[in-house]
């Protein structure tokens, strides 16, 4: 008879391989659907402010809603079952988003479905993160998630490029049909993700140690974890002042078509893709903090590089954009991996679902406020023109975002003695 510990070890190793396959299916869904939400909003001719709300309010609603997953977990007592149920419902929302777009571009109906979609998507994050935290040994987390992320990004790149080609082929006829095709393919891929999630192992001895209720008070979190969550939230705020407007900037101001947009998104991902193993090894060898510090500074200056792209000769704009987007992909990839690893370090002997819920709540709130402020700034272009001459109001938003990003970096990361 195989000892329980040995049998469990085999199940965990098998599940880690299956998780990589599952992530590949999820990546196809993301590349086909979520990558092109912004393009879908732009196709429906919404204003920059409306697109900012569509891109950020759902994140906040999702962050609020995901705190309710504790109640569902308390009933189901299984992270696996909870994630699968949420993902199934999320997948069904995709055709409803298309319907809202088809029905004369009903803005508030579309906003409601996008909010529901992200509520279901983000509610998966806490139980999934907790589940994987028990499956992946601490000493291997950087390397495992680096390798997994590299595979995931390959499939994300291929699917996103294919989706862009499909949209471009319909650009001169009925672009909406192109969105129907890519969103439908994304639905199929998400069902593939569900199939492989169901095959993963969930350790039996991890369901009794979770405190489910959400509590934002500092008494239940150590100061290091609170500082980490504060930094994470404020940095997301600074990023999303300008981040939701990038799709608008590319399509309206830089005048990319769908195939150029697909090339930009996907070619730029290559550098981030092949950097994941490097980042994973660097984090395992040198720790997460130094990687967060370096990548966050580089991300801080990105908006001003995008401003410079606008003034390049037309024949150089796409090439220059690919270079900057590649740098962004490289830095965001390393930073995301380091932040996740840092969170796992903070979660030693703590309640994983509770900690991740708190993080995603404040992150979602910050994303919404940042996007709201960025969107409001675009509505007041005349106010800026009284002081400075602007070719596009988005340049002013990018400048403001740069100041915020570097301000957050200076406050939290300059002094090595007070690590997040």
Per-residue confidence (pLDDT) for residue 13, from 0 to 100:
84
Confidence of residue 3 (pLDDT cuts 50, 70, 90): low
Per-residue confidence (pLDDT) for residue 9, from 0 to 100:
74
Per-residue confidence (pLDDT) for residue 218, from 0 to 100:
42
Give the position of tokens 């979602």: 364
Asked if the model's pLDDT at residue 210 lies above 60, the reply is no
Give 355 or 316, the one with higher predicted confidence: 316
Confidence of residue 258 (pLDDT cuts 50, 70, 90): confident
Per-residue confidence (pLDDT) for residue 338, from 0 to 100:
93
Per-residue confidence (pLDDT) for residue 382, from 0 to 100:
58
Joined tokens for residue 136: 């992946």
Q: Which DSSP string do the residues of 2-37 spell out, in sequence order?
A: --HHHHHHHHHHHHHHHHHHHHHHHHHHHHHTGGGH
Q: Is residue 420 in some structural domain?
A: no
| pLDDT tens-digit series, residues 307-343 | 999 999 999 999 999 999 999 999 998 999 899 888 8
Q: Is residue 6 in some structural domain?
A: no
Question: Which percentage of the chain shows pLDDT scores above 90?
Answer: 52
Per-residue confidence (pLDDT) for residue 345, from 0 to 100:
80
Which domain does 84 fall in, by range? 14-198+221-413
Per-residue confidence (pLDDT) for residue 214, from 0 to 100:
39
Confidence of residue 208 (pLDDT cuts 50, 70, 90): very low
CB atoms within 10 A of CB 247: 23
Joined tokens for residue 32: 């086909």
What is the three-state SS of 320-352?
A: HHHHHHHHHHHHHHHHHHHHHHHHHHHCCCCCH
Handedness of CA 396, 397, 401, 407 (dihedral sign): positive
Average of per-residue pLDDT across 386-392: 68
Average of per-residue pLDDT across 1-11: 63
Distance CA 100, CA 254 (A): 28
Average of per-residue pLDDT across 416-420: 71
Give 7 or 137, the one with higher predicted confidence: 137
Q: Is residue 418 in some structural domain?
A: no
Per-residue confidence (pLDDT) for residue 200, from 0 to 100:
92
Confidence of residue 350 (pLDDT cuts 50, 70, 90): low
Looking at residue 300, which CATH number applies to its domain?
1.20.1250.20
Contact 84, 69 (CB under 8 A): no
Torsion of CA 38, 234, 143, 36, to 10 degrees: 0
Domain count along the chain? 1
Give 258 or 166, the one with higher predicted confidence: 166
Q: Is residue 8 in some structural domain?
A: no
Confidence of residue 171 (pLDDT cuts 50, 70, 90): confident
Per-residue confidence (pLDDT) for residue 207, from 0 to 100:
46
Q: Is residue 294 in some structural domain?
A: yes
| pLDDT tens-digit series, residues 45-97 | 898 899 999 999 998 998 888 878 778 877 888 889 999 999 999 999 999 99
Distance CA 122, CA 86 (A): 9
What does the mean pLDDT of the chain come to? 86
The one-character DSSP state at 207 is: S
Rounded to the nearest 10 degrees, the angle between the axes of helix 258-286 and helix 314-346 is 40
Give 319 or 214, the one with higher predicted confidence: 319
Confidence of residue 211 (pLDDT cuts 50, 70, 90): very low
Give 172 or 388, the one with higher predicted confidence: 172
| pLDDT tens-digit series, residues 145-157 | 888 888 998 899 8
Give 297 or 212, the one with higher predicted confidence: 297
Q: Is residue 4 in some structural domain?
A: no
Confidence of residue 173 (pLDDT cuts 50, 70, 90): confident
Asked if the model's pLDDT at residue 279 lies above 50, the reply is yes
Confidence of residue 215 (pLDDT cuts 50, 70, 90): very low
CA-based angle 47:53:57, to the nearest 5? Answer: 170
Judged by DSSP in three states, 301 sits in coil
Q: Is residue 268 in some structural domain?
A: yes
Asked if the model's pLDDT at residue 282 lies above 80, the reply is yes
Q: Is residue 127 in some structural domain?
A: yes
């Amino acid at each position: 008879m195989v000892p329980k510990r040995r049998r469990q070890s085999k199940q965990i190793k098998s599940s880690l391989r299956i998780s990589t396959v599952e992530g590949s299916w999820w990546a196809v869904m993301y590349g086909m659907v979520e990558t092109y939400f912004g393009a879908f909003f732009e196709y429906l001719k919404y204003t920059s402010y409306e697109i900012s709300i569509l891109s950020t309010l759902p994140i906040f609603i999702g962050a609020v809603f995901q705190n309710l997953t504790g109640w569902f977990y308390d009933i189901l007592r299984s992270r696996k079952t909870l994630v699968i149920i949420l993902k199934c419902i999320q997948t069904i929302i995709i055709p409803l988003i298309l319907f809202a777009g088809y029905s004369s571009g009903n803005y508030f109906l579309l906003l409601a479905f996008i909010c529901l979609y992200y509520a279901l998507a983000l509610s998966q994050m806490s139980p999934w993160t907790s589940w994987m935290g028990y499956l992946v040994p601490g000493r291997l987390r950087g390397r495992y998630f680096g390798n997994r992320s590299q595979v995931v990004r390959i499939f994300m790149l291929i699917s996103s490029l294919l989706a862009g080609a499909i949209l471009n082929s319909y650009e001169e006829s009925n672009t909406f049909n192109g969105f129907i095709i890519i969103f439908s393919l994304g639905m199929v891929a998400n069902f593939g993700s569900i199939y492989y999630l169901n095959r993963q192992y969930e350790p039996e001895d991890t369901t009794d140690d979770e405190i489910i209720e959400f509590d934002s008070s500092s008494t239940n979190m150590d100061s290091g974890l609170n500082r980490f969550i504060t930094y994470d939230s404020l940095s997301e705020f600074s990023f999303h002042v300008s981040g939701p407007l990038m799709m608008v900037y590319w399509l309206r101001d830089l005048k990319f078509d769908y195939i150029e947009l697909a090339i930009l998104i996907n070619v730029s991902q290559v550098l981030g893709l092949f950097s994941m193993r490097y980042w994973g090894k660097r984090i395992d060898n040198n720790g997460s903090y130094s990687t967060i510090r370096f990548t966050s500074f580089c991300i801080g200056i990105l908006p001003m590089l995008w401003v410079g792209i606008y003034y390049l000769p037309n024949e150089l704009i796409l090439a220059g954009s690919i270079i900057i987007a590649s740098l962004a992909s490289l830095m965001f990839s390393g930073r995301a991996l380091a932040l996740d690893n840092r969170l796992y370090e903070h979660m030693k002997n703590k309640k994983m679902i509770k900690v991740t819920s708190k993080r995603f709540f404040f992150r979602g709130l910050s994303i919404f406020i940042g996007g709201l402020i960025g969107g409001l700034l675009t509505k007041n272009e005349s106010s800026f023109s009284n002081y400075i001459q602007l070719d596009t109001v988005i340049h002013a938003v990018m400048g403001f975002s740069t100041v915020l990003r570097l301000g957050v970096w200076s406050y939290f990361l300059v002094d090595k003695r007070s690590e997040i």
